[in-house]
Structure 1
Amino acid sequence: MENLVKDFMMLWSTIDPVGTLALFTGLTARLSAQQRRKTAIKATLYASMVLIAALILGQLILTAMDIKLISLQLAGGVILFLFGLQMIFSTHIQESGETEPGHDLAVFPLAVPSIASPGAIMAVITLTDNHVKTLYEQTATAAVLMLVLLVTCGLMLMADRIFKVIGHNGSAIIVRIMGMILAALSVELIMTAIGVAPWMTT
């Protein structure tokens, strides 16, 4: 039970259902209620597939390619930083609620990198280390992962009530605040990956 609680806390902090809700609220403000519900469900399904694939195959793929987890963290930090800048300075999505042809908000940025974030991918790979965890423990971690994803989906499905309170201006503010938070988080990931953060905090 103690291990399950630790797994839940790590997955909750890396998937960040509340942060995903704020991002979802801003990005889908111009969509209809039906479109928002469809986007929420699709984003959760896509993110689930990515995270389950990472849980099952992630460590094998990284080992086969001789890629260390710290390298994945650095790459994820760069991606998050660029996306954070896009959220801060871009106005296209907030003004129209649409994206370019062939682009689906449920895939990017909701499923990846918001729900299935680089941190979440690293977390599921670390928590299901084949050299440390038994099959039973890995299955339990997978169940905890699905619980967090269900909570995330549930929060997004309740977004209609939030729209009535914050309006379009509030959603635009949320997007920019989330952009700044993502940019700051990405810097932390990059600094940790290159070994800068430890000596800066001393």
Structure 2
Amino acid sequence: MSPELSLANALHQFATLFAVIDPVGTVPVFIAVTASVAHDRRRSVAFRAVLFAALVLMGFLIAGQPVLNAISVNLTSFQIAGGIVLFLFALTMIFGDSKPEKEISEVSRNVAEWAVYPLAIPSIASPGAMLAVVVLTDNNIHSIPAQAMTAGITLMVLGLSLLLMLAAMPVQRMIGKAGASIVSRVMGLILAAVAVDHVINAIIIRFGL
């Protein structure tokens, strides 16, 4: 068996993709985004978010490397931009006010928009995740079967993200709006720290510090 297709390499890729996609870290974002969405619409938000994230990551896996090379975009710059966007969203989780009743119906009508931003991008399909799938499927290094294995592992991690978001719904119902508000602010602080960490790591890589 090729070393690229070995169990050890598969586990290494799973650990890498689990870290950058961060299914656990997606849960507080999901809770914050769906706080004012009707319970029966939250499942739709979760499924749509994972679907959109899968499309983005598979797109980067297949065409990301040649496209970014063609337009001369540095991948670490992409990661820095994503970290800043994630940090700005974290601030809304920490300081944002509860939505008034008149906005609740509007949120419910725009489930697709909430699923795309900030859930699918940049929470699930983060710049770090996009960077990882491009690196793990480098056309100059890895064979087609190895790239297919990476695609399968990516979809597996996305499936775990979906399961965790669906599991968050009963927890949120149990703690109520007040509890969800507290969790949202605490998790927002953690998310802000994660975003800053992404930016710092990208700067270190970019400038070789």
Same topology, TM > 0.5 = yes
CA deviation map 1:127-153 (0-9, x unaligned): 111111111111000000111111111
Q: Counterpart of 1:195 in 2: which secondary structure?
A: helix
Q: Is the 8 A contact 2:37 2:107 kept in 1?
A: no
- The 2-side partners of 1:168 and 1:122 are apart by 36
Counterpart in the other structure of 1:69: 75
The reply on whether 1:163 has 2:172 as its aligned counterpart is yes
Structure 2 distance, partners of 1:94, 1:129, is 48
SS at match of 1:131: coil
Q: Partners in 2 of 1:16 and 1:119 — Cα distance?
A: 10
Aligned to 2:159: 150
The SS at the match of 1:139 is: helix
* Matching residue within 6, 11, 30 for 2:17: 11
Change (3 A) 1:29 1:83: closer
**Within 5 Å, which residues of 2 pair with 1:117-132?**
117-132=126-141
Letter in 1 for 2:85: I
Write the letter of the residue equivalent to 1:162: V
* Of 98-107 and 109-118, the range deviating more from structure 2: 98-107
Which residue is equivalent to 1:135?
Answer: 144
Provide TM-score, normalisation by structure 1: 0.88
Matched residue SS, 2:36: coil
Picking from 35, 57, 65, the partner of 2:63 is: 57
Is residue 28–residue 183 contact of structure 2 (8 Å, CA) maintained in 1?
yes
SS in 1 for 2:148: helix
1:1-202 mapped onto 2 (5 Å cutoff): 1-93=7-99, 97=104, 98-99=106-107, 104-195=113-204
After superposition, the C-alpha distances for 1:83-119 in whole angstroms (9 at most, x for unaligned) are 2222211124597555498672111111111111111
- Relative to structure 2, which stretch is displaced further, 4-13 or 184-193? 184-193
The code of the aligned residue for 1:23 comes to V
Q: Provide Cα deviations, 1:148-193, integer angstroms capped at 9, x if missing partner.
A: 1111112222233212332112211222222212221222222222
Whole-angstrom distance in 2 between the partners of 1:94 and 1:184: 28
Q: Mind listing any 5+ residue stretches in structure 1 that lack a counterpart?
A: none
TM-score of the aligned structures, taking structure 2 as reference length: 0.85
Q: Structure 1 residues 57, 124: closer, same or farther in 2, change over 3 A?
A: same
Amino acid at match of 2:179: G
Paired residue type of 1:47: A
Gap change, CA 1:188 and 1:163, over 3 Å in 2: closer
Structure 1, 91-100 or 10-19: larger mean CA deviation: 91-100
Please state how far the C-alpha of 1:43 moved relative to its aligned partner. Answer: 0.8
Contact 1:30 / 1:94 at 8 angstroms: preserved in 2?
Answer: no
